[in-house]
Structure 1
């Protein structure tokens, strides 16, 4: 992958997040083969996604944030704590101001300001909120490598992109299949499913450019992405995966996802 390492950091982040978006589209593409998905399978997949996000938050974001802060002469825990809490508060603010609908919920359960938007739009917005910190995390990872920050490596950044991509598959399916079950055509359901992942390349490019050109914010940017991802897992992914009583299956999925992401990051990082 030497050719990839020689690319501009913004282009690296763009290609990496186009991959993560592509896996979202691949997951949404399952609607062409299935009209419904077994709830146990969906909950296991959601648990897996949550496990990947938790592991990535520590191994790929918080741990490097602490190490980089130390190498920059900062108090190591300050950027990690400040960025982490800010990321969570930011997602909470987005939740408050942007109408959205959790997976499998009825339109009357929509969160945020009252709106007349269709269920499909609200579902896409919910997954889009998930994908903002994921794209940002990948972009910041590549920005750290390009900036020459100690502890940041190309293999680790690519492992993060791979892990985020893997957990995007169930998210794409979780949008398109419920819409198909509601009577939407396969093509339209796929369109909405893949649309939820388009924010990742945008967030990835912005994250990479920002930390490359303003390096002192890098530890804060890493921990910000971690806090935002943990907020999503605790607020939405885990509760949704256990809503139908499949706690053991979703928990097993979470542990498998965590173990896989940890192995990827430690093994390749």
Structure 2
């Protein structure tokens, strides 16, 4: 296995592992307050926004410029395609956002249980994160311009891992409230992020096949993540009237990810 594929897999396993750690809190702690949950959701949104900009879009535009392309063209095209694909998946895959009533389930009509729909929503959320990690490591290994760095890819994995830690908690406890046992809540909480190492491998492998399209792939991953932030994380963080706290969490998450990327990248 090439080094960049191995690194992408290890990074995906790292982000999944932190989700599992967060989900394991269901065994030891009481359910977090809604204030804390909204702060966590805001933090996750901020990390993903900063990662999209500093780890994917900006290096992708530098790469496109070094290749003699118009820098903003791959960024715009890839970004819109990434968001468009997530919108298509969002429209077709049956799922239910956390703390939303059953009748607000999205996707094709189904008789699936509420618990299944909740898990599918988080899985849909985690897939672009795994793809982004894989694309970042693939870009580091295959970009001849040097715009993508190993430090930037590591920073992206760390940032996504940090926001996955509270995310595992935010998945497991709502499932527990739905009547699921602690063991199953943990299992489903970590299972929702199992797509991340798979997505990381897929992203790195795709990049290897079409290296000249790296700027498009990086923007594509950014667009998919931003779609998740705007479609899911921000609305969910504003449900219970703690919008100011959620906004502070977003700014904190953005700052942490920005600092990581600048320090390591």
TM-score class normalised by the smaller sequence: over 0.9
User: Is the 2:143–2:214 contact (alpha carbons within 8 Å) kept by the matching residues of 1?
Assistant: no
1:17 alignment partner in structure 2: 12
Distance 1:132 1:75 in 2: 29
Q: How many residues end up aligned between the 2 structures?
A: 264
1:92 alignment partner in structure 2: 87
Range 14-23 or range 31-40, more displaced? 31-40
2:156 aligned with 1:160, yes or no? Answer: yes
Instruction: Give the superposition deviation at 1:213.
Output: 3.0
1:241 alignment partner in structure 2: 237
1:74 corresponds to which of 47, 69, 75: 69
Normalised to the residue count of structure 2, the TM-score between the two structures is 0.97
User: Is the 1:20–1:161 contact (alpha carbons within 8 Å) kept by the matching residues of 2?
Assistant: yes
Distance 2:2 2:14 in 1: 16
Instruction: Give the superposition deviation at 1:7.
Output: 6.2
Distance 2:23 2:96 in 1: 17
Normalised to the residue count of structure 1, the TM-score between the two structures is 0.95
Matches within 5 A, 1:1-80: 8-80=3-75
1:112 alignment partner in structure 2: 107
Instruction: Give the superposition deviation at 1:210.
Output: 1.4
1:3 alignment partner in structure 2: none
Instruction: Give the superposition deviation at 1:83.
Output: 0.3
2:125 alignment partner in structure 1: 130
2:255 aligned with 1:259, yes or no? Answer: yes
Instruction: Give the superposition deviation at 1:266.
Output: 0.5
Range 153-162 or range 6-15, more displaced? 6-15
1:183 alignment partner in structure 2: 179
2:141 aligned with 1:146, yes or no? Answer: yes
Q: Once the two structures are superposed, what CA deviation does each residue of 1:62-119 show, in whole Å capped at 9, x if it has no partner?
A: 0011011111121111100000001111110001000001011222221111111111
Distance 1:175 1:101 in 2: 12
Q: Once the two structures are superposed, what CA deviation does each residue of 1:126-180 show, in whole Å capped at 9, x if it has no partner?
A: 1111111111111011001111432111111101000010111222112110111
Instruction: Give the superposition deviation at 1:189.
Output: 0.6
Q: What is the root-mean-square deviation of aligned Cα atoms in Å?
A: 1.2
Structure 1 runs (4+) greater than 2 angstroms displaced: none
